[in-house]
Amino acid sequence: MNNLKLTNSLTRKKEIFKPINLKKISLYACGPTVYESPHVGNARSLVVFDILFRVLKSIYGNNVIYVRNITDVDDKIIEASKANRKEINEITKNVTKIFHKNCESLNCLKPSIEPKATEHIKEMIEMSSSLITKGFAYENKGHVYFSVDSFKDYGKLSNKNLEELRAGSRIEISDLKRNPMDFVLWKPSKINDPGWESPWGRGRPGWHLECSVMSEKYLGKNLDIHGGGLDLIFPHHENEIAQSCCNNNSKKFANYWVHNGFVTINKEKMSKSLGNVISITNAVEKYSGQVVRLALLSAHYSQPLDWNEELLANQKKILDKWYNLHEEVKKESDLKADETLLDDLNTPGFIAKIHELYNVASKGNSEKKIQFNKACRMLGLFNQTKQDWHNFRKKHINITENTIKEKIEERNNAKKKGDFKLADKIRNELLSKGILIEDLKDKTIWKYK
């Protein structure tokens, strides 16, 4: 029986998930704008919705359709093109390639469909025209704006009225708007910028319009779950709801809205201005994708997550320990989410259960060992063999074999002199660098931890 519960941002309550159609469970998550390498803040959203996808699949099997888009036309991309003096296609293709590699490193399942904005321009023009015809949008000098006054529920998702939204947000100032809060559906393109012919002249779509069009095309006018980072609630998701509900004459766009919390760096918000942005590529090269994934799941998805060296070191130690009981699982199709994950994707609680399983399994309980391995895979871990994991660890240990031998000899001399305090210090020093030493009858051996 499905007892999946999710915190719905729309109602601000934890609710039992009730799908629209049991044969087509629809999940849409906002994907990247491909203008620069994704960072660990982006990685959190990727991993959170990958877990939700896995949980839904464990309940509904192949009836789950997960759509995650690629935004490949946007002002940020145009700015990056000019700043780097590179063609737009070169930037979008390169960043998309990096993004896919990052997804693979983090062991994220491929979405069912991954539409690109540039492949859906025709539908975006059609929705803009439809909104004008129905009186929800207007054109002015090649710009098409959505009129927020025409949608009485505007602000419901962010739980704010128009005055509060106007006061608390950065609004694009334009004399072409009837209301400062109105947002763009279509805008003119400069000669050298990407553009498509439309009834209002050559131009390109607004960001908010893209997701409404792509989600409707692949999932329908009313979908089960729509998600993304907390920063997307306003204006992006608020605007999606407005334009989709008005165009489709419907009261709801998505039944459940799920948003993940921010990632901070040593208690400070991750931002370019502070220079503390860490790319996914750098993070997985330094720590491994599994360590990064486990770190991102160590706090509840709805809460802030502080990214720091202590967090990463702890996750590495956990995986070093867990890999002692790693074994291949023949069938991953029978992985099931337990009541902990079903309770609003409680990954910290699920990780605590894995620790409990490990403690029992490590004492020789073969049944618990199987459960332990399945639980790790349910979390998207153990995608490497034990040997591959140790090889990665070995490659990233910053100490030479000669230094290790010298340290062992130094320790042996300390023991001969009765300086056991120094001997213990050397042992701990090696241990901190990932080297485990063991005293036998006639010699001391070492191995990678």
β partners of residue 254: 223
User: What is the pLDDT confidence band of residue 237, given thresholds at 50, 70 and 90?
Assistant: very high
Q: Which of 218, 186, 181 is closest to 201 using CA atoms?
A: 186
Q: Could you tell me which CATH number the domain at 5-260 has?
A: 3.40.50.620
Rounded-to-integer distance, Cα 214 and Cα 204, Å: 15
- Cα four-point dihedral sign 310, 313, 317, 323: positive
> Is there a common fold for 5-260 and 264-394?
no
pLDDT tens-digit readout, 165-222: 776 666 778 889 999 999 999 999 999 999 999 999 999 999 999 999 999 999 999 9
Structure tokens at 35: 């203008």
**For the structural domain made of 264-394, what CATH number should be given?**
1.10.730.10
Other beta carbons less than 10 A from residue 84's beta carbon: 12
Residue 1 above 60 pLDDT? no
Give residue 95's pLDDT band: very low, low, confident or very high (50, 70, 90).
Answer: very high
| Helix/strand/coil for 113 | strand
| Chain segment 119-165, per-residue pLDDT in tens | 999 999 999 999 999 999 999 999 999 999 999 999 999 998 877 77
Arithmetic mean of pLDDT, 429-446: 82
pTM of the model: 0.89
Using an 8 Å Cβ cutoff, are 144 and 89 in contact? no
Q: 34 and 77 in contact (C-beta within 8 Å)?
A: yes
Given a cut of 90, is residue 331 above it in pLDDT? Answer: no
pLDDT, position 335: 82
Mean pLDDT of 272-292: 90
Domain assignments of the chain as residue spans, ordered by start: 5-260, 264-394, 397-448
Average pLDDT of span 101-108: 98
Per-residue model confidence (pLDDT) at position 332: 62
More confident residue, 78 or 398: 78
Mean pLDDT of 91-108: 98
Is 417 or 401 the better-scoring residue by pLDDT? 417
Structural contact between residues 56 and 25, judged by C-beta atoms closer than 8 angstroms: yes
Residues 6 or more apart whose Cβ sits within 8 Å of residue 73 = 117, 118, 194, 204, 205, 210
Structure token pair of residue 29: 């998550």
* Mean pLDDT value across residues 67-79: 96
Question: What are the pLDDT digits (tens) for 363-416?
Answer: 989 999 999 999 999 999 999 998 889 888 777 677 777 888 888 889 989 988
Say whether pLDDT at 274 is over 80: no
HEC string of 297-366 equals CCCCCCCCEEECHHHHHHHHHHHHHHHHHCCCCCCCCCCCCCHHHHECCCHHHHHHHHHHHHHHHCCCCH
Query: Does the pLDDT at position 34 exceed 60?
Result: yes
Helix axis angle, 88-105 relative to 40-60, nearest 10°?
60
Report the SS3 class of residue 425: helix
* φ, ψ dihedrals at 31, nearest 5°: -90, -165
CA angle 333, 337, 341 (to 5 degrees): 150
CA 54, 207, 296, 155 dihedral sign is negative
pLDDT of residue 391: 82
Q: Residue 62 above 90 pLDDT?
A: yes
Q: Can you say whether the dihedral through the CA atoms of 88, 89, 92, 97 is positive or negative?
A: negative
Residue 323 binned pLDDT confidence (cut-offs 50, 70, 90): very high
Helix (H) / strand (E) element for 203: namely: strand 203-205
CA 227 to chain centre: 10
Token pair recorded at residue 405:
């031998």
**pLDDT value of residue 269:** 77
Which two tokens mark 380? 């998207």
pLDDT-based confidence at residue 89 (cuts at 50, 70, 90): very high
pLDDT value at position 153?
A: 95
Name the phi and psi angles at 6, rounded to 5. Answer: -135, 145
Contact 161, 167 (CB under 8 A): no
Percent of the chain scoring above 90 in pLDDT: 77
Q: Report the pLDDT value the prediction gives residue 330, as an integer from 0 to 100.
A: 67
Give residues with Cβ within 8 angstroms of 320, minimum separation 6. 393, 449
pLDDT at 268: 83
Task: Give me the pLDDT at residue 405, please.
Answer: 86
